[in-house]
Amino acid sequence: MAKTGKWSKVKPAYQARPSPDMWNDRDDASIMNAAINSLDQVSREMEQRWGYGSLERLASPDLAAKFEMARESLRVACAGDDPSIVIQKAENMAKGWRVLEKRALEKGEKPIDERIWLHIADDGRRYGFVNEIGVAAQVTESHSCRVYSLDEVTRIVQRYEAEAMIVAATKDAFPGAEIQEIVNKGDKLDDEIPF
């Protein structure tokens, strides 16, 4: 690739660092991914049960600081070169989530209503889904999310399916299929067929 011309001196705003060698080793990577996925499940369960950032806010300053240090320690371990440290730090974080919850319960705090489901979209936006609109009022500003009732979600999906019939047809033709991305190509469907 040529490195001359008017764009050759432009520096990208973000330059990714190469991944540590341990992530390039298939066995190490799969073991570390198992630990990270397990931790991710614990954190999702805790945030679903308590709300985004709620357990950290309910903790004492000392416990909140220790939890944040554990999170930073895991981040540093993931950038290092020792899979066993990543696994240990992921386990520490999982224990930390459980300690945060235990302390919140000991203080008499209560998890959020089970009729509220919290979700973080692929782009990082946060949403709350409730089974009936009356429950939406329970989603306070501390949850920092946009709230929809299942009735509203159903209306949105129905409207979308009416306008983009391919979505409904695909879901009908392939039960269990997951929509991973929606790209608007307009009326022009001339993309290359890969066979």
Q: What is the pLDDT of residue 163?
A: 80
Q: What angle do CA 112, 117, 123 make, to 5 degrees?
A: 120
pLDDT of amino acid 60: 95
Per-residue confidence (pLDDT) for residue 81, from 0 to 100: 81
Four-CA torsion 29, 31, 32, 35, nearest 10 degrees: 150
Q: Taking CA 47 as the corner, what is the angle to CA 129 and CA 97, rounded to the nearest 5 degrees?
A: 170
Closest CA to 127 of 111, 153, 147: 147
Rounded to two decimals, the pTM is 0.67
Task: Count CB-CB contacts under 10 A for residue 118.
Answer: 21
Nearest to 57 by CA among 98, 109, 94, 14: 109
Position 1 scores a pLDDT of: 45
Residue 108 CA to residue 110 CA, distance in Å, equals 6
Domains of the chain in sequence order: 22-106 (1.20.1270), 116-173 (no CATH)
Per-residue pLDDT at 103: 97
3-state secondary structure labels for all residues of 88-114: HHHHHHHHHHHHHHHHHHHCCCCCCCC
pLDDT tens, the chain, 195 aa long: 445 555 555 565 656 666 666 777 788 888 889 999 999 999 999 998 998 888 999 999 999 999 999 999 999 998 888 889 999 999 999 999 999 999 999 999 999 888 888 888 888 888 889 988 888 888 766 677 889 999 999 999 988 888 878 888 888 888 888 888 877 766 666 667 766
pLDDT computed for residue 106 by the predictor: 97
